[in-house]
């Protein structure tokens, strides 16, 4: 039995209920405008600037949200390799700085901070933190993909082994998606920082792909379908 019309609407509603979902959806519109306008002045460029400013509201308190786990558990848990835990902690700090610095940029854009140099400095800090946070994601996901173990355990039946292999394959596919998304984000941040000679349309394309992938990852799961009744 395929998902119903109501199921599709509930998934969309669940996505839109999330502040992060609204942020990523407006990001998709922002970078789509950048792609269409190719950085040239005009109405599309004005829409891009307006949507970019609108995104900021959905990011309020995100720095605190990201550092809270570190404040609760500042040390290592021992549940994962120390280096992997360290990478994830550094990533959380970098992403908190990314959002925090972006708040300062927003304050400059709405006129609370008049010094242009402060706005530019925090804009670079925000983008660099985002880029390095994406690199941490690439490293962490790459680590866990290569560490995935599909060797058969002693005493494991054929059915148990087959189920475990399928589960590991599913996890690897999910991690590969996250890794590819992080690669797009790192490239996007590099383009916005002008570390690479990318044209506005190319940066817009990277942003559209990264934002679309983000939206996909934030979609709630569809309800499990009832099994088909067995025919007599």
Q: Measure the CA–CA gap between 124 and 187, rounded to whole angstroms.
A: 15
> Does residue 108 carry a pLDDT above 80?
yes
pLDDT in tens, 47-82: 998 888 888 888 888 888 899 988 888 888 888 899
Taking a C-beta distance cutoff of 8 angstroms, is the pair 51, 29 a contact?
A: yes
Q: Measure the CA–CA gap between 121 and 137, rounded to whole angstroms.
A: 24
> Closest by alpha carbon to 188, among 174, 202, 168?
202
Q: What is the pLDDT of residue 227?
A: 58
Q: What is the pLDDT of residue 44?
A: 93
Taking a C-beta distance cutoff of 8 angstroms, is the pair 136, 87 a contact?
A: yes
Phi, psi of 65 (to 5 degrees): -60, -40
pTM of the full structure: 0.85
Crossing angle for the helix pair 116-147 and 82-109, nearest 10 degrees?
150
List C-alpha distances in Å: 165 to 185, 193, 217: 30, 41, 23
List C-alpha distances in Å: 91 to 98, 121, 144, 191: 10, 21, 15, 20
> Does residue 226 carry a pLDDT above 60?
no
Q: What is the pLDDT of residue 203?
A: 95
> Does residue 228 carry a pLDDT above 70?
no
What CA dihedral angle connects 107, 112, 116 and 117, to 10 degrees? -70
Q: What is the pLDDT of residue 97?
A: 95
> Does residue 230 carry a pLDDT above 80?
no
Q: What is the pLDDT of residue 85?
A: 93
pLDDT in tens, 12-48: 888 888 888 888 999 999 999 999 999 899 999 999 9
Taking a C-beta distance cutoff of 8 angstroms, is the pair 101, 122 a contact?
A: yes
Which range, of 21-30, 47-56, 87-96, 217-226, averages the lowest pLDDT?
217-226
Average pLDDT, the chain: 88
- Rounded mean pLDDT, 169-179: 93
> Does residue 231 carry a pLDDT above 70?
no
Q: What is the pLDDT of residue 110?
A: 85
């Amino acid at each position: 039995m395929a998902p119903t019309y109501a199921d599709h609407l509930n998934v969309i509603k669940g996505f839109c209920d999330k502040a992060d979902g609204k942020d990523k959806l407006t990001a998709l519109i922002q970078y789509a405008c950048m792609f269409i306008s190719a950085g040239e002045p005009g109405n599309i460029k004005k829409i891009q600037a307006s949507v970019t400013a609108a995104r900021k509201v959905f990011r309020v308190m995100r720095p605190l949200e990201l550092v809270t786990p570190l404040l609760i558990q500042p040390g290592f848990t021992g549940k994962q390799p120390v280096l992997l835990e360290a990478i994830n902690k550094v990533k959380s700090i970098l992403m908190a700085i990314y959002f925090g610095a972006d708040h300062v940029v927003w304050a400059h854009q709405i006129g609370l901070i008049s010094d242009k140099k402060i706005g530019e400095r925090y804009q670079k800090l925000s983008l660099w933190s985002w880029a390095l946070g994406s690199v941490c994601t690439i490293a962490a996901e790459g680590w866990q993909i290569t560490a995935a173990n599909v060797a058969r355990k002693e005493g494991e039946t054929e059915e148990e082994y087959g189920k475990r292999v399928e589960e590991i394959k599913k996890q690897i596919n999910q991690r590969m998606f996250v890794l590819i998304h992080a690669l797009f984000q790192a490239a996007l941040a590099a383009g916005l920082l002008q570390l690479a000679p990318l044209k506005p349309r190319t940066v817009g394309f990277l942003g559209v792909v990264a934002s679309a992938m983000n939206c996909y990852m934030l979609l709630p799961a569809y309800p499990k379908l009832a099994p088909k009744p067995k025919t007599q």
